[in-house]
């Protein structure tokens, strides 16, 4: 058995070494290919330069003619771009000013030129007119878009939806160390339905007690503060048959039902169960 294990280990080591060797060979091959490509590119560049030098030396007149032709073509392209730019901006050469002077429109030697409106300004001006017409028909004639009042209503609705999502998420961040009594009573109202669906079977529909203790008096077995009630509902009392509700109810729902349970205090239901536990004094 030991021999078999040693043999297996040896084969695994050999296989690992072979794989490592293949990886090294693969890397060396890739580096070699990259270096070869660089050498080829450098060689091609050197050959091109050598051919140009030979051509310039052998046929100097043709070389000069070609260079002159390239320079002239470059100058023509630059002049063409300059004219196009001047036309777009409505610019004119200084020697053309004499043809643009408006007669009888000079003062102290300062003359007025009849320069046409630049093309870009006309384009911008007519674009605003087209945009204005499109805006008018889209928002005020056909009603394809939302006007300011409609946008306001929509954004308010979206903000309210986002607020509700935030509140629902924030409600579930509560635990037995941070839960507090809701002074508005909203959580207690929401917790009534949860109590009726999950707690009434043991504690009675009015909290008067049944299998479980009475929740309407001031006596508590596991503490009567909001944090105590939250903890009891969340983790349960398995030894006494009360199941933990943390897997069934969200933290927000536990906070709601805890607030509802505290709201049952001194409600004096019919046929209440006898007090159990320690009496708690509330401030």
Residues in CB range of 71: below 8 A, 6 or more apart = none
Q: In CATH, which of 3.90.480.20, 3.40.1180.10, 1.10.760.10, 3.40.50.11720 is domain 186-279?
A: 1.10.760.10
pLDDT band at 29 (very low <50, low <70, confident <90, very high): confident
Give residue-wise pLDDT tens across range 132-175.
999 998 888 888 888 888 899 999 999 999 988 877 777 788 88
Q: Is the pLDDT of residue 15 over 60?
A: no
pLDDT score, position 105: 72
Name residue 113's beta-bridge partners. Answer: 101
Average pLDDT over the chain reads 84
Give residue-wise pLDDT tens across range 216-266.
999 999 998 999 999 999 999 999 889 999 999 999 999 999 999 999 998
Domain boundaries, the chain: 2-58, 90-145, 186-279
**Closest residue by Cα to residue 165 from 252, 247, 234, 246:** 252
pTM of the model: 0.45
């Amino acid at each position: 058995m030991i021999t078999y294990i040693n043999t297996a280990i040896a084969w695994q080591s050999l296989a690992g070494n072979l794989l490592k060797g293949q990886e090294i060979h693969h890397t060396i091959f890739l580096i070699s290919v990259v270096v070869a490509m660089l050498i080829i590119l450098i060689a091609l560049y050197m050959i091109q330069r050598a051919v140009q030098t030979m051509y310039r030396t052998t046929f100097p007149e043709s070389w000069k003619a070609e260079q002159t032709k390239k320079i002239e073509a470059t100058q023509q392209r630059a002049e063409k771009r300059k004219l196009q730019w001047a036309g777009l901006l409505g610019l004119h050469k200084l020697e053309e000013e004499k043809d643009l002077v408006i007669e009888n429109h000079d003062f102290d030697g300062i003359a007025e030129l009849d320069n046409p409106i630049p093309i870009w300004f006309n384009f911008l001006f007519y674009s605003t007119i087209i945009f204005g017409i499109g805006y008018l028909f889209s928002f005020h004639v056909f009603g394809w878009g939302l006007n300011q009042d409609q946008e306001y209503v929509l954004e308010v609705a979206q903000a309210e939806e986002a607020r509700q999502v935030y509140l629902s998420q924030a409600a579930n961040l509560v635990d037995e160390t941070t839960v507090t009594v809701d002074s508005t009573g909203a959580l207690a109202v929401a917790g009534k339905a949860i109590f009726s669906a999950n707690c009434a079977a043991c504690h009675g529909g009015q909290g008067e007690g049944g299998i479980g203790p009475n929740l309407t008096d001031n006596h508590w077995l596991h503490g009567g503060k909001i944090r105590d009630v939250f903890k009891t509902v969340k983790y349960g009392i398995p030894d006494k048959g009360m199941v933990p509700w943390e897997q069934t109810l969200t933290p927000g729902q536990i906070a709601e039902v805890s607030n509802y349970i505290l709201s049952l205090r001194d409600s004096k239901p019919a046929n209440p169960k006898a007090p159990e536990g320690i009496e708690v004094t509330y401030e």
